[in-house]
Amino acid sequence: MNILKLLLGNLIKGPATDPYPLGEAITPAAYRGRVAIDEATCVGCKMCEHVCAAGAIRFTEDEAGLHFLIWHNSCVTCGLCAVYCPTKAITLTTNWQTSHRQEDKYKQVDHATIPFTNCSCCGVRFLKAQDPLMLLAYKTVGPNEERLRDLCPQCRQVESAKGAKV
């Protein structure tokens, strides 16, 4: 008779159904959803392209700068890109509402451009170091580090070797 008690309990307790789509759905805080890229923080190391499990991330280069492209329909939300990004420019949001019609299949992309700049000393074209990378390297971004920011790697070496300016 246990089963009858169970059924009676079920009738009394009522439905246990998640109210979505007629109500809100609970999303866990650590849910691995759609990928988001922060253009200002990316330094163009291409680590994410290297570790991407499904080859969803592509980098291309042209006059304007380095172009980051991710096709969300090939992304398996493994999170490896977010783990290995040194500056946490690429992160996984909790957005799981990504269903779309067939017409929008190739529009599910995110695109970022990391612009080239010219070295203030020798004028060669290079990618500037962003703040998070500077923090990783120098532990602080003060006036000593500021003057190194606009220099290409060769000039930065020369300037660094001259010693810190108090």
Give the shortest CB-60-to-another protein separation in angstroms: 18
Query: Is residue 83 a contact point for another protein (CB under 8 A)?
Result: no
Q: Which region, judged by CB under 8 A, interacts with another protein, from 37-45, 98-106, 127-135, 145-153?
A: 98-106
Q: How many residues bind another protein (CB under 8 A)?
A: 34
Query: Is residue 11 a contact point for another protein (CB under 8 A)?
Result: yes
Q: Which region, judged by CB under 8 A, interacts with another protein, from 3-11, 37-45, 80-88, 113-121?
A: 3-11
CA distances from 65 to 41, 97, 104 (A): 14, 32, 27
Structure tokens at 65: 């700068």
Give the shortest CB-154-to-another protein separation in angstroms: 38
Select from 96, 92, 101, 93 the least CA-distant residue to 24: 96
Residue in this structure with the two tokens 């203030």, named with its chain if needed = 120
Nearer to another protein, 77 or 87 (CB): 77
Distance from C-alpha of 145 to C-alpha of 154, rounded to nearest angstrom: 15
Give the footprint of another protein on residues 40-69 (CB under 8 A): 53-55
Distance from C-alpha of 28 to C-alpha of 43, rounded to nearest angstrom: 30
Distance from C-alpha of 76 to C-alpha of 80, rounded to nearest angstrom: 10
Give the shortest CB-69-to-another protein separation in angstroms: 14
Could you say which of 5, 101, 139, 162 contacts another protein (CB under 8 A)?
101
Q: What is the phi/psi pair of residue 71, to 5°?
A: -100, 110
Distance from C-alpha of 147 to C-alpha of 166, rounded to nearest angstrom: 12
Give the shortest CB-72-to-another protein separation in angstroms: 6
Largest Cα separation within the chain, whole Å, is 88
Site residues, another protein (CB under 8 A): 3, 7, 10-11, 13-18, 20-21, 25, 31, 53-55, 71-78, 96-102, 105, 108
